[in-house]
Chains A and B, each alone.
Chain A
Amino acid sequence: MKTIAIKVTINKKQQQLVIKPNLTLLDLLREELGLTGTKCGCEIGECGACTVLLNGQAVNSCLVLAPQVDGQEIVTVEGLAVGNLLTPLQDSFLDHDAVHCGFCTPGMLMSAQGLLDHSLDPTESDVRTAISGNLCRCSGYQQIVDAIKDTKVSVNDTNKARIHTEKRT
């Protein structure tokens, strides 16, 4: 088995990597790059815990073969906040207590971010569809849906985001 050289942009940073081809994108992120924010759940594309954005679209990183991301752009949950400044979506999750055990949260955030990047004013139905590939075993869906819906209000409200960030720091 030959190794493969790939160039990939992860959280805005371009990286050149030499990898074994029999890795999933999930393995690459967690095991090779230490980006353990992306969670490993079912590994068959059912639970959504491993969701990342690939060229702006939510995908199950467990179903992408690592060499397939050569030349592509990936955003993981680590790529959302800038330093201590959380994104409006992350703030909204905190405001709504949308994090229970937390295992599904990175995947939920990435699916929701994928939605918000394409539509600023999603309906509740859009939100529920966007996270329909993400399971929350604490069954905290209502808070998650509310958090995503309310994010649209705060997208331009940077003050709110800043105040919340300051409260925590």
Chain B
Amino acid sequence: MKPFDYFSPKTLNEACSLLRNSGEGARILAGGTDVLVELRKPSAHLPKSIIDISRIAALKGITESGDSIIIGALTTHDEVHRSELIAKYAPLLRSAVSMIGSPQIRNRGTIGGNIMNAAACADTVPPLMTLNARLKLNSSLGEREIALTDFFVKPYVTIAHPDEILSEIHFHKLSLALRSSFVKLGRRNALSIARLSVAVVLKVGGKGIIEEARIVPGAAFPIWQRVREAEVVLVGQKLSRDIFVEAGKKVSEIMISYTGRRWSTEYKEPVIAVLVRRALEQCIDKEKKA
């Protein structure tokens, strides 16, 4: 590992001023599950300083405030997984974090790091996007809020300025009338990078009519987005396998309109359609049990 200067601020303000003074040669370290891997790579862009924010207590934990859930950026995947608030109000996020990496990774990796690293396979992003999550970014100049849908530019690139730190993620509690699910396909169960994933939120009315649908695939589009074209296929329709299949095909079609046909398309085209159908079916299976 190349040498660097190491700082461990205890407060967000301190971290922000350190980051501002260090310029672009600084790298924020949280859980380290991505940063430590990068630090060992032979690369011309290795950081001159590491700002370890892992001791900033204010950025940890999950709280509720009225109708909202607030997750501190330093909350680990394991903490999200064990949270009763998340189990109750964002169950699909709970499923997503349970599939990240391995127990060791989930004990260290943070939800903030997963978002800021912005890998196309980041498992927390599709569920958070279906929850209409918003991010709070802090810098020595102040703070701002941004919708998660507006945050990503392309894989590994976000609109966050180099002097900004993600401090919290918040979203409205998923009403108990809404059903949700997350499915992920990897090459194996543990330690797998998502080849494709889908997060779905569904609201079903009294007569089995779909009143609302939100669909966000992972690792499918150049950047994450709601697939509104597929959502409208569902809304107003009666629940049925056929309509789920149709929505899946629509997601597949829209995906290809963005990515074009490439080496992986032959695989991803049918698979994403099936994953969307499965995710929708999982929402309904849960409803039957409930």
Task: Enumerate chain A interface residues (CB-CB to B < 8 A).
Answer: 1-2, 4, 20-24, 43-46, 48, 51, 54, 57-60, 62-65, 67-68, 70, 111, 114, 129-130, 132-134
Contacts and interface: CB of A to CB of B under 8 A. Distances in A.
A54 to B, nearest CB: 8
Given A64-B36, A67-B6, A133 B52 contact: no
Interface string B13-44: 00000000000000001001100110110000
Given A132-B189, A133-B191, A63 B36 contact: yes
Interface stretch (B103-111, B173-181, B275-283): B103-111
A129 B103 CA distance: 7
Interface residues of B, number: 28
Given A21-B50, A59-B107, A43 B40 contact: yes
B159 interface: no
B149 interface: no
Given A1-B3, A24-B1, A46-B191, A63 B102 contact: no
Nearest to A23: B1
A62 B32 CA distance: 10
Given A65-B6, A68-B54, 17 more contacts: A1-B3, A22-B1, A22-B39, A24-B1, A45-B33, A59-B107, A60-B33, A60-B108, A63-B33, A63-B36, A64-B32, A64-B36, A65-B32, A65-B50, A68-B8, A133-B101, A133-B190
B30 to A, nearest CB: 10
Given A132-B189, A133-B101, A133-B190, A62 B36 contact: yes
A47 to B, nearest CB: 9
Contacts of A20: 3
B104 A111 contact: yes
B52 A45 contact: no
B4 A21 contact: yes
16 contacts: A1-B4, A4-B6, A22-B1, A22-B3, A22-B39, A23-B1, A24-B1, A45-B102, A48-B102, A63-B104, A63-B105, A64-B36, A65-B6, A68-B54, A132-B190, A134-B102
Given A2-B5, A111-B103, A68 B37 contact: no
B57 to A, nearest CB: 12
Contact of A65 (B52, B78, B102, B189): B52
A125 to B, nearest CB: 12
A81 to B, nearest CB: 22
What are the 5 tightest A-B residue pairs by CB atom distance, in nearest-first order?
A133-B102, A21-B6, A132-B190, A1-B3, A22-B1
Interface in B171-195: 189-191
B289 interface: no
A111 B190 CA distance: 14
Given A64-B36, A68-B32, A133 B103 contact: yes
Contacts of B190: 132-133
A74 to B, nearest CB: 13
Nearest to A63: B36
B189 to A, nearest CB: 7
A24 B6 contact: no
A59 B36 CA distance: 13
A163 B191 CA distance: 39
Contacts of A59: 104, 107-108
B262 interface: no
Interface in B59-105: 78, 101-105
Contacts of B161: none
B45 interface: no
Nearest to A62: B36
B37 A45 contact: yes
A64 B264 CA distance: 34
A130 B103 contact: yes
A134 B191 CA distance: 10
A22 B4 CA distance: 7
B2 interface: yes
A64 B54 CA distance: 11
Contacts of A62: 36
B5 to A, nearest CB: 6
Contacts of B36: 24, 45, 62-65
A68 B103 contact: no
